[in-house]
Amino acid sequence: MAAGPYNYSYIFKYIIIGDMGVGKSCLLHQFTEKKFMADCPHTIGVEFGTRIIEVASQKIKLQIWDTAGQERFRAVTRSYYRGAAGALMVYDITRRSTYNHLSSWLTDARNLTNPNTVIFLIGNKCDLDAQRDVTYEEAKQFAEENGLMFLECSAKTGENVEDAFLDTAKKIYQNIQDGSLDLNAAESGVQHKPATPRSPINTDQPQNKEGCAC
């Protein structure tokens, strides 16, 4: 885009968390590549993905850190929570244990992010309705009690995947607009990028070193 140095106005940092095998990487892949990744091995440590989206005519770059669900990586992946504007917390609707562990994931998310971080609960694998182990109503109630946004998705069919990522961004954007999210806070998880070129005379620039007498 010839309009400026960046083709987006904001960067939002997201993290994806949840038990091993709930489909975190598949959700990310479906969102960034619009494809289902069958036969996906367990993530080693962390993975990273980006996509530029549009909210209220503003281009926003999502920088998404997808963390491994394996216990081995738990301590170190906690460092990625810091400065996340959005946290997608995923469970598998066909495995009750992954739902039961949500309170522990939520505790981590609350303790390690800032109070404005938007936490979105995703019940993945909703295409496997016949094997359902957690009802929609139950999870919906859990989300309401804990002030979380919620959707059931399918990384396989793509159902609701866009919505989960986009609704999170909309909520973050809304928080910026109404002033509840301070862009200058060190760990807001949001960076504002000027979308228009800077004026040639820029007082923000550090002093030119060539003019220094040393």
Partner 1 sequence: MEAIVEEHIDPNDLKKFEALYNTQVIRGHVSEKTQFDYAWCLVRSRYTSDIHRGIALIEDLLRHAKDDLSQRDYLFYIAVGFVRIKEYEKALKYTDAICKIEHNNRQARQLERYIKARMKKDGLIGIAIVGGAALALGGIVGATIAALKKKSNQ
Q: Is 104 in the site for partner 1 (CB under 8 A)?
A: no
Q: Name which of 34, 47, 50 is nearest 80 in CA terms.
A: 47
Is the CB of 79 or the CB of 100 nearer to partner 1?
Answer: 79
Q: How far is the CB of 127 from partner 1 (least distance, A)?
A: 22
Distance between CA atoms of 176 and 130, rounded to whole angstroms? 41
Q: Which two tokens stand for residue 78?
A: 């906690």
3-class DSSP state for residue 146?
Answer: coil
x-or-dash string of contact with partner 1, 32-71, rule CB under 8 A:
-----x--xxxxxxxxx--------------x------x-
DSSP-derived pairing of the beta strands 118-124 and 46-55: unpaired
Per DSSP, 200 falls in state S
Q: How far is the CB of 41 from partner 1 (least distance, A)?
A: 5
Q: How far is the CB of 185 from partner 1 (least distance, A)?
A: 17
The residues facing 118 across adjacent strands are 86
Q: Is the dihedral of CA 31, 32, 37, 41 positive or negative?
A: negative
Q: How far is the CB of 65 from partner 1 (least distance, A)?
A: 8
- Exactly one of 79, 104, 135, 141 binds partner 1 (CB under 8 A); which one? 79
Is the CB of 42 or the CB of 192 nearer to partner 1?
Answer: 42
The H-or-E segment that residue 122 falls in is strand 118-124
What b-and-e string marks burial along 77-89, b requiring 16 or more CB atoms within 10 Å of the CB? beebbebbbbbbb
Is the CB of 64 or the CB of 90 nearer to partner 1?
Answer: 64
Is the CB of 112 or the CB of 139 nearer to partner 1?
Answer: 112
Residue ranges in contact with partner 1 by CB under 8 A? 37, 40-48, 63, 70, 72-73, 75-76, 79, 82
